[in-house]
A and B are shown apart, each in its own frame.
Chain A
Amino acid sequence: MAGAPLLSVEGLETHIATHAGTLRAVDGVDLHVMPGEAVALVGESGCGKSMTALSVMRLLRPPARTVAGRVAFEGQDLLALEEAAMRRLRGDRIAMVFQDPMTFLNPLMRVGDQIAEALAQHRGQSMAQARQAAVEALRSVRIPEPATVARNYPHQLSGGMRQRALIAMAVACRPALLVADEPTTALDVTVQAQIMRLLAGLRRDLGSALLLITHDLGLVAEYCDRVYVMYAGQIVEHAEVGALFRAPQHPYTRALLAAALPPHRRVAELAAIEGQPPSLLSPPPGCRFHPRCPARVAPCDRDAPPLFVLSPERTARCWLHARSPADAAAS
Chain B
Amino acid sequence: MGPSLLLYTLRRLVQAVPLVFVIILINFALIHAAPGDPIDFLLGSSDATEEYIAQLRAEFGLDRPLPEQLLAYLGKMLSFDLGYSLRFREQVLTLILSRLPATLLLMGTALVVASLLGILLGAVAARRPYSATDNVATLAALAGYSMPVFWLGQIMLLVFALHLAMFPTQGMMSLRAPREGLGMVLDVAHHLVLPVATYSVYHLALVFRLTRVKMQETLALDFITTARAKGLPEGRVVYRHALRNAMLPVVTVIGLNFGFMLAGSVLTETVFAWPGTGRLLFDAIQARDYPLLMGLFTVLSVMVILANVLTDVIYALIDPRVVYR
A residues near B, CB below 8 A?
A: 54, 57, 59, 61, 87-92, 95-96, 98, 100, 103-109, 114, 117-118, 121-122, 153, 155, 166, 169-170
Among A90, A105, A114, contact of B231 (Cβ-Cβ < 8 Å)? A90
Q: Which residue of A lies closest to B225 (CB)?
A: A59
Inter-chain CA distance A224–B229, complex, in Å, is 23
Contact between B231 and A106, CB atoms less than 8 A apart: no
Judge whether B241 is part of the interface by a CB distance below 8 angstroms. Answer: yes
Judge whether B223 is part of the interface by a CB distance below 8 angstroms. Answer: yes
Contact between A106 and B230, CB atoms less than 8 A apart: no
B residues near A, CB below 8 A?
A: 219-223, 225-233, 236, 241, 244-245, 318-321
The 8 closest A-B pairs by CB, nearest first: A91-B231, A90-B231, A91-B230, A103-B222, A118-B230, A153-B320, A96-B229, A106-B223
Inter-chain CA distance A109–B318, complex, in Å, is 10
Given A90-B228, A90-B230, A118-B230, CB of A108 within 8 Å of CB of B221:
no
**A87 / chain B contacts, CB cutoff of 8 Å:** 231-233
Inter-chain CA distance A242–B223, complex, in Å, is 36
From residue B125, how far is it (CB to closest CB) to chain A in Å? 15
From residue A51, how far is it (CB to closest CB) to chain B in Å? 12
**B219 / chain A contacts, CB cutoff of 8 Å:** 61
Inter-chain CA distance A257–B142, complex, in Å, is 56
Among A57, A61, A106, A114, contact of B245 (Cβ-Cβ < 8 Å)? A106
Contact between A100 and B222, CB atoms less than 8 A apart: yes
Given A104-B223, A107-B223, A107-B245, CB of A59 within 8 Å of CB of B228:
yes
**B225 / chain A contacts, CB cutoff of 8 Å:** 54, 59, 98, 104
**A169 / chain B contacts, CB cutoff of 8 Å:** 226, 230
Inter-chain CA distance A274–B174, complex, in Å, is 83
Contact between B223 and A105, CB atoms less than 8 A apart: yes
**B321 / chain A contacts, CB cutoff of 8 Å:** 107, 153, 155
A-B pairs under 8 A by CB, number: 75
Inter-chain CA distance A103–B223, complex, in Å, is 6
Q: Can you list 5 pairs linking A and B with CB atoms under 8 Å apart?
A: A54-B225, A57-B229, A106-B241, A121-B233, A153-B321
**B319 / chain A contacts, CB cutoff of 8 Å:** 107-108
Contact between A108 and B245, CB atoms less than 8 A apart: yes
Among A95, A96, A109, contact of B241 (Cβ-Cβ < 8 Å)? A109
Inter-chain CA distance A132–B192, complex, in Å, is 49
Given A106-B241, A155-B321, CB of A121 within 8 Å of CB of B226:
no
**A92 / chain B contacts, CB cutoff of 8 Å:** 231
Q: Which residue of A lies closest to B130 (CB)?
A: A62
Contact between B226 and A166, CB atoms less than 8 A apart: yes
Contact between A117 and B245, CB atoms less than 8 A apart: no
From residue B71, how far is it (CB to closest CB) to chain A in Å? 47
Inter-chain CA distance A306–B318, complex, in Å, is 55
Contact between B222 and A104, CB atoms less than 8 A apart: yes
Contact between B231 and A104, CB atoms less than 8 A apart: no
**A59 / chain B contacts, CB cutoff of 8 Å:** 225, 228-229
Inter-chain CA distance A64–B177, complex, in Å, is 64
From residue A36, how far is it (CB to closest CB) to chain B in Å? 21
Inter-chain CA distance A163–B29, complex, in Å, is 58
Inter-chain CA distance A117–B229, complex, in Å, is 12
